[in-house]
Amino acid sequence: MPDQPDPATPPALRAVLQKFWGYDSLLPMQAAAMGCVLASRDSVVVLPTGGGKSLCFQAPALCLDGLAVVVSPLISLMKDQIDALQGCGVAAAGMHSMVTAAEGQRIAAAIRAGELRLLYLAPERLVQERTLAFLQGVKISLFAIDEAHCISAWGHDFRPEYRQLRRLKETFPGVAVHAYTATATARVRQDIAEQLGLVKPAILVGPVDRPNLVYKVRRRANRLSQIREVLDRHAGESGIVYCITRKDVDKTCLALSEAGYRVRPYHAGLADEERRRNQDDFIREKVEIIVATVAFGMGIDKSNVRYVIHAGMPKSLEHYQQESGRAGRDGLPAECCLFYSGQDFMTWKLMLTNMPAEAQAGALAALGAMHGFCAGVSCRHRALVEYFGEKHKGAACDACDVCLGELDLVAEPLIIAQKILSCVVRLQQRFGGEYTAMVLGGSTDQRIVKQKHDALSTWGILAKENKRAIRDWIEQLVEQGFLAKVGEFAVLQVTDTGRCLLKGELAPRLLQPAKNAPARAKVEVDSWEGVDRALFEALRQLRREIAQTRNVAAYIIFGDATLRDMVRRRPATMEEFLQVKGVGQQKRDDYGQQFLARIAGFCSGKPDAAAPASR
């Protein structure tokens, strides 16, 4: 949260934010989104993961009369948000398949009595005639559609049942509908508005950039050792490892488990009960690491994920933005590491062959953009922001491998590039990147000898260079427009810009892995300023104890950002405890004495001097 209160925030809304969430200010775009809710104006809101979408409808719902109905696609996502709301003292509930008949009757009675403020429903349940009839007898303040990109066939997680939500405007014509998503292109935003039948909606698009995320991209060499290097940097912290296939998930998870890491697998091939148990173990911090396919994530509202590792290249930048965005939802620094190889491109391409022709063309274009990002030589934050149609402010981000200097500039990039492009020309522009790299490296592979390409003047011209580096340089030249991949087999061809390079009129920027250790991003260093690590860990342990006693996720008690602010302030009274960011009145009453005792005990040299976890 920003440090200064927003004077434009209505007093009633400001009071709600302070009382229930312990906030005195709003993140970018939240004020405008909440204004639409308070004014009962339909809206489509696009905010990045961690941008505070849920608060956009939760807080103003407490300022309006009636029941706010929230559409959510997954039970786990509903439960997380409901647990968090109840922990703040907000009357919220959900109706789903895990709710017993008796619980359902109690929830219905609470709704009729006007005691419930927010009700979470799956789209399938909401559009049932019985549900609609029940809600018509209740004063509804608003409808909030979470994960709204699922409505659009142009979105990345299309769900046909979401299309039925158009009935809301037909059945409740006087009630505003608000759609929320983390990623949506202009085409998807328009489709969401049309499919929901929104009336003159406000289209609010927040900044794409997540400055607290530190992006690092490497060509994959030894998958397991590269993953373990990241895990060891974040010992004791929560993280996600994404793999492309189920087989890779199982293999990676087993290897990490045998190496002593607290880890669980997650993919669609596991039994429902095992999958649910593994996810719960991760959320409740019984294990620190989840290794998963992309099937894992939409239902996760875990705020303290400190790193996301992609052990293979995602199939699009939209997916990468959403998956990597599951790190650092609390606004604190988090690391996003991507390890890729050329084989990833071919794996995804093979998996896309069953798609309709039109959809396949779009998917392949998205895959190409993703591969270009991996091989890119410009600021990662800039590349992502510009892909989504925004301009990146500033020069170096100080939060990616390029800007942190983890990749070194090649000493003579023009000469190396001219050798590569000359080889492409001598191969008559008929071969792909992998084959071209083999020729440049002086390979005696049977195919090269058979084609007599070992007799070319460019054969072995880069034999002294690392083979992986040659392959990377080819991709970097593609990304900078000196080479192009053409046709079904991604054959390399020299572009007009590339011909200028051959004449020495233009020079590329070629990078190679730096020899120095990974640098710490400024955003990470700043986030720990004034924070005693030992006290932070003591409070983190207390948080875990309370969470286990209450059977909720640890971050539901307090987020990492709140704990760090608590360490900086070291409150000694209940009133001082209420001044900590993220501490509302309910949480002060529930947990204040325990945390004050732990802080006092730590400061007096008796770290175990704390009240027992409440039941």
In a domain, 520, yes or no: no
If asked whether residues 24 and 140 sit together in one domain, one would say yes
Report yes or no: 380 and 217 within 8 Å, Cβ to Cβ: yes
Closest CA to 337 of 314, 365, 369, 368: 314
SS3 call for 542: helix
Could you tell me the CATH number of the domain that includes residue 494? 1.10.10.10
Q: Let me know: does 507 contact 413? Beta carbons within 8 Å.
A: yes
Q: What is the pTM of this model?
A: 0.76
Does residue 119 share a domain with residue 189?
yes
Q: pLDDT tens across 183-235, in order?
A: 777 888 999 999 999 999 999 998 888 999 999 998 887 899 999 999 999 99
Q: Which CATH number is 346's domain given?
A: 3.40.50.300
Q: Which of 326-330, 392-396, 486-490 has the lowest mean pLDDT?
A: 392-396
**DSSP code for 177:** E
Q: Is the pLDDT of residue 487 over 80?
A: yes
Residue 129's contacts (CB-CB under 8 Å, 6 or more residues apart) are none
**CA–CA separation, 244 vs 254, rounded Å?**
16
Taking alpha carbons only, the member of 525, 550, 554 closest to residue 537 is 554
184 and 173 Cβ atoms separated by less than 8 Å: no
Domain annotation covers residue 357 = yes
Residue 1 lies in a domain: no
188 and 260 housed in the same domain: no
**Cα 215 from Cα 403, distance rounded (Å):** 10
pLDDT of 3 strictly over 60: no
Relative to beta strand 118-121, strand 92-95 is parallel
* Distance, first Cα to last Cα, the chain: 30
Which one of 173, 205, 237 terminates a domain?
Answer: 205
Residue-wise burial string across 243-282, b where 16 or more C-beta atoms lie within 10 A, e elsewhere: bbebebbbbbbebbbeeebebbbbbeebeeeebeebbebb
Considering the domain boundaries, does residue 4 fall inside one?
A: no
Tens of pLDDT, residues 60-116:
999 999 999 999 988 878 888 999 999 999 999 999 888 899 999 999 999 999 999
Of 161, 182, 205, which residue is a domain's last?
205
Asked, for residue 521, whether it belongs to a domain, the answer is no
Domain range enclosing 579: 528-603
Digit-coded pLDDT (tens) for 547-578? 999 988 899 999 999 999 999 999 999 999 99
Boundary of a domain, candidates 205, 232, 247: 205
Question: Which residue is listed with tokens 């020899």?
Answer: 515
Number of domains in the chain: 4
